[in-house]
Amino acid sequence: MELLLLLVKIIITISLLALVSTLMKMCEALILKPKRLRSILRKQGIRGPPPSFLLGNTGDMKKMKSSAKKAQQKGEQAITHNCSSAVYPVFDEWRKSYGPIFMFSLGNIQILHVNDPEVVKEISICNSLDFGKPSYQSKEHGPLLGQGILASNGASWAHQRKILSPELYMNKVKGMMKIMVESSMTLVNSWRIESEGGVADVHIDEYMKSFSGDVISRACFGSNYSKGEEIFLKLGALKEHLSKKFFYNGIPGMRYFPTKSSREIWRLEKEIRALILKAVKERKQEASGNDLLHTILEAATNGGFSQDETDRFIVDNCKNIYSAGYENTAVSATWTLMLLASNPEWQARVRAEVLQVCGSQMPDADMVRKMKTLTMVIHESLRLYPPTPVVSREALEDLKFGDIQVPKGFNVWTMLVTLHQDPDIWGPDAKEFNPERFVNGINGACKLPHVYMPFGVGPRTCLGQNFAMAELKIILALIVSNFSFSLSPKYRHSPSLRLVIAPEHGVNLLIKSL
């Protein structure tokens, strides 16, 4: 009996110790560490909105966004290009109160908002492996959220940049031009049928997604592109679910809570990974190939990775290609067509240039390079509506930018939508559509060209930049040379954040064949 009592006491003691240990760890993670990190910045004179327990400033952000949404719905649907106020209205208020550098919290995730141009310059050129992907983003989600490839391992990121270089992607782009033209003509021919004999009111969003999806599926999976279409369809569904859970990333344990949305995310992740690796297995059986999957597979094979790292490398790169080549390209093409529809004089200038450069021929790589006016229009569209509104990184060790000491564990956010429309940088017409500002290229467009970074900047520039630009130029060139278009009365201007900045209600155009 005494032995049994002793055993019970031991079990109770162990349980209490485990409970106390767990509570201490929770206290450290939820209270002490965030407070300690914030105090380091507070001593440097950096302030921010006071966070609430567990939720941080998430409640303020959701409340402000909801209020802005209601105000927008009550007012006239005027076309203004102030994306910052539309997608992150609370930041406008915080900047007024605390300046361009302040701190806030998403749950127990501590974030330093930096929009001082000089500090942004130091951040953008930082190539330290200690300034990497935020750890609050799971390994699976990073590429979909625009945070690069191979998650938090800095060495892996550096190696990946070496073996999948921008030059390699550029060479691939030249070989993909035919695919881009064929996919563009499929779209053009479908509109020609619909608009025959008059003007058609077309909701263009799905067409743009279909075009970019077809291009990227064929570019990545070659003759087996139907497999790519299935994968990218599931990736789109996954991204939609992730966008709804964005504000809850910082709530402790939330990502592991088996809600209906979380279970759907887990299911999609598992299916996507299985589909990609199955496609890879089938691809290995083919002798050679010139598609992107073959290139990724070759790079992974020569990368010296373990099998698990190889699988992650391949899956993450396929996700990254989806994000840059499919989602971002489709939404950028949609915004650019909206702007051209709203500005007929620029639509006419682009059309005249395309007809002069291409004549009756289909565009090729040399012709695309000569389309200067179209390039200016695309740059201006990406300035006003960058697909990814924020660049986020985490200090994996203590770092210094300018006079700011950023402690290990703090995340750093740079708001592109704000920097891209700052009148002090771009001039008094910063919130207006004026492609002429890019007549001398990006370096001549504003006082501080390093703040223009729709594809990122410095050592972490998106590898797919040239691919995306080629896609945009070809689809837009073929549309403007075959159609004239204007905004439909159905169009409601409402930029919305769904991990990318997209038109909430889509874009309707009145299209007429030429």
pLDDT digit string (tens) for 72-105? 655 555 788 888 888 888 898 999 999 999 999 9
SS3 354: helix
What's the one-letter identity of residue 11? Answer: I
The pLDDT value recorded for residue 153 is 39
Can you tell me the distance from the alpha carbon of 184 to that of 397, in angstroms, rounded to the nearest whole number? 46
SS3 177: helix
Q: In the prediction, which pLDDT does 246 show? A: 59
Nearest to 88 by CA among 405, 343, 388, 346: 388
The pLDDT value recorded for residue 212 is: 87
Q: How far is 249 from 233, CA to CA, in rounded Å?
A: 24
Provide the whole-model pTM: 0.85
**73 phi-psi bin (left φ>0, alpha ψ -120 to 50, beta other):** alpha
The domains of the chain are located at 34-145+154-509
Supply the pLDDT for residue 145. Answer: 43
The per-residue pLDDT for 142 is 45
* CB-based burial label for 356 (10 Å; 0-12, 13-18, 19+): exposed
Question: Which architecture does CATH list for 34-145+154-509?
Answer: Orthogonal Bundle (1.10)
Q: pLDDT tens string for the chain (514 positions)?
A: 677 777 777 888 787 777 777 777 767 677 778 888 899 999 999 999 998 887 888 888 877 777 666 666 555 557 888 888 888 888 989 999 999 999 999 888 899 999 999 999 898 888 887 888 787 665 444 444 444 333 333 444 454 555 555 555 566 677 788 889 999 999 999 987 665 568 899 999 999 988 988 888 887 777 666 766 777 778 777 877 776 665 555 555 556 666 777 788 888 888 888 888 887 777 776 655 667 777 777 777 776 777 887 888 788 777 777 666 677 889 999 999 999 999 999 999 999 999 999 988 999 989 999 999 999 999 999 999 998 888 888 999 999 998 999 999 999 999 999 999 999 999 999 999 999 999 999 999 998 988 998 887 666 667 677 888 999 999 999 999 999 999 999 999 988 887 789 998 899 999 998 8
Per the DSSP assignment, residues forming a β-bridge with 393 are: 412
Measured CA to CA in angstroms, residue 27 lies from 13, 14, 103, 254, 373 at distances of: 21, 20, 21, 17, 58
Select from 480, 222, 493 the least CA-distant residue to 340.
480
Percent of the chain with pLDDT over 70: 80
Contacts for 453-456: CB closer than 8 Å, 24+ residues apart: 453/124, 453/391, 453/416, 454/382, 454/383, 454/386, 454/387, 454/388, 454/416, 454/420, 456/391
Tell me the β-bridge partners of 199: 512
Please state, in angstroms and as integers, the Cα–Cα distance from residue 482 to each residue in 4, 56, 130, 192, 490, following that order.
88, 52, 50, 8, 23
Apex CA 73: angle with CA 72 and CA 74, to 5°?
Answer: 90
Among candidate residues 403, 425, 413, the one with its CA nearest the CA of residue 41: 403
Largest CA distance in the chain: 99
